[in-house]
């Protein structure tokens, strides 16, 4: 069953805690992306990776970190430096490096709440 799996679906974080959101894909896609979605804000790009062992900051990278050690996996860590992490996080992939003219596939999202 091909697709993108994000886990967990719901995540609760205490103040000062780091948490890691998982994103796994079996589509054999080169590029992977993390977006944050707040109500009324649309999607904002956090980080993206076009190939293994390489990634770039998006528009709102502060307080987040990523790694891309395997083609299938692109985990996102929300660090304690991210002061307002409560949001819906979406992972996406495109078949080739560079998004130009390619359809993006999305996971079902992780809803992170600070408690």
Partner 1 sequence: SQQGEEDPQALSIQEGENATMNCSYKTSINNLQWYRQNSGRGLVHLILIRSNEREKHSGRLRVTLDTSKKSSSLLITASRAADTASYFCATDNQAGTALIFGKGTTLSVSS
Which positions ≥6 away from 78 have C-beta within 8 Å? 13, 18, 19, 20, 21, 63, 64, 85, 112
Should residue 66 be labelled a site residue for partner 1 when binding is judged by CB under 8 A?
no
State which of residues 45, 52, 61, 114 lies at the interface with partner 1 (CB under 8 A). Answer: 45
DSSP 42-84: EEEEEEEEEETTEEEE-TT-TTEEE--SBTTB--EEE-TT-S-
Closest separation in Å from C-beta 80 to partner 1: 26
Q: Check residue 52 for interaction with partner 1 (CB under 8 A).
A: no
Tell me the site size for partner 1, rule CB under 8 A.
31
Tell me: does residue 8 bind partner 1 (CB under 8 A). no
Nearer to partner 1, 1 or 15 (CB): 1
Q: Closest Cα partner for 29 from 104, 103, 95?
A: 95
Q: Which of 35, 66, 82, 87 binds partner 1 (CB under 8 A)?
A: 35
- In this chain, which of 33, 62, 73, 83 binds partner 1, going by CB under 8 A? 33
């Amino acid at each position: 069953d091909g697709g993108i799996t994000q886990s967990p679906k719901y995540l609760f974080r205490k103040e000062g805690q780091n948490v890691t959101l998982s994103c796994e894909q079996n589509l054999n896609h080169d590029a992977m992306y993390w977006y944050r979605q707040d109500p009324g804000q649309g999607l904002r790009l956090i980080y993206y990776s076009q190939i293994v062992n390489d990634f770039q900051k998006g528009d709102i990278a502060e307080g987040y970190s990523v790694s891309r050690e395997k083609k299938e996996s692109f985990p996102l860590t929300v660090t304690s430096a991210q002061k307002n992490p409560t949001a819906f996080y979406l992972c996406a992939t495109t078949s080739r490096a560079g998004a130009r003219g390619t359809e993006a596939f999305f996971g079902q999202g992780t809803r992170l709440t600070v408690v």
